[in-house]
Amino acid sequence: MPLRILPAKGTKEEAGHFARLMEMSAPQYFPALLGPRFRDVFEALFLEKENLFSHEHVVFGVYDGEIAGMLLGYDWKTREREEKRTGWLMIRILGFDFLERLPGFIRASLSSGRLEKGDYYISNVAVYPEFRGRKIGKSLLLHAEERAKDMAERMALDVEKDNEIAIAVYKKLGYSLEREHSLELEGRTYRFYRMVKGLKGL
């Protein structure tokens, strides 16, 4: 089979892929949240350990030897443990730029990032356009569910309300809508669905 799901090793080459795929997963949202240097932030955080964007929480979909997509995910305990360090690392990378954006980052953390005890959170999933249609995103999600079974009771993710294709895929995989929430950044309101899926019996 040409597709393999492999844990990230934390190399610089992978960091470049991670930053590009993160941008694809939310092309307007991340620049608004983190500013024009958001790719630098993701590359730097990917290379570090013990933060919510670390390679420790990333798996890549490798198709015919090429990185085709990625998934970033972690459980609620990891979020509690690593959230503060993530913020400190962002301050170190962006300096005063991040302090200016801190209120928005805190609002984002309280809305889309909020997890219930027992949740495993799919933070981001993305596949390069040239590899779409090969069920790579689905394979990444199913791999995450398998990984989460021993540490969580349910899967959780956030998806923008107007992303109808992704919502349809998640519903097909057994996710249901739990709530709506929104976040205002730089004069634009981003509206999300929280979708969840129980892991019992899988």
155 C-beta neighbours (distance < 10 Å), count: 25
Angstrom distance (rounded) from CA 188 to CA 4: 38
Residue 108's pLDDT is 84
Using DSSP, state whether 4 is helix, strand or coil.
strand
DSSP string for residues in 150-185: TT-SEEEEEEETT-HHHHHHHHHTT-EEEEEEEEEE
Q: Tokens for 163? A: 């992303």
The predicted model scores a pTM of: 0.95
Per-residue tens of pLDDT for the chain, all 202 residues? 699 999 999 999 999 999 999 999 999 999 999 999 999 999 999 999 999 999 999 999 999 999 999 999 999 999 999 999 998 999 999 888 888 888 888 888 877 767 999 999 999 999 999 999 999 999 999 999 999 999 999 999 999 999 999 999 999 999 999 999 999 988 899 999 999 999 987 6
Residue 169's pLDDT is 94
85 C-beta neighbours (distance < 10 Å), count: 15
pLDDT digits (tens, 9 = 90+) for 68-90: 999 999 999 999 999 999 989 99
Q: Which domains does the chain show, CATH number per domain?
A: 3-198 (3.40.630.30)
Angstrom distance (rounded) from CA 6 to CA 12: 16
Cα of 40 vs its chain's centroid, Å? 16
Q: Tokens for 59? A: 């798996």
Q: Tokens for 158? A: 């956030």
Strand locations in 76-135, DSSP E? 119-127
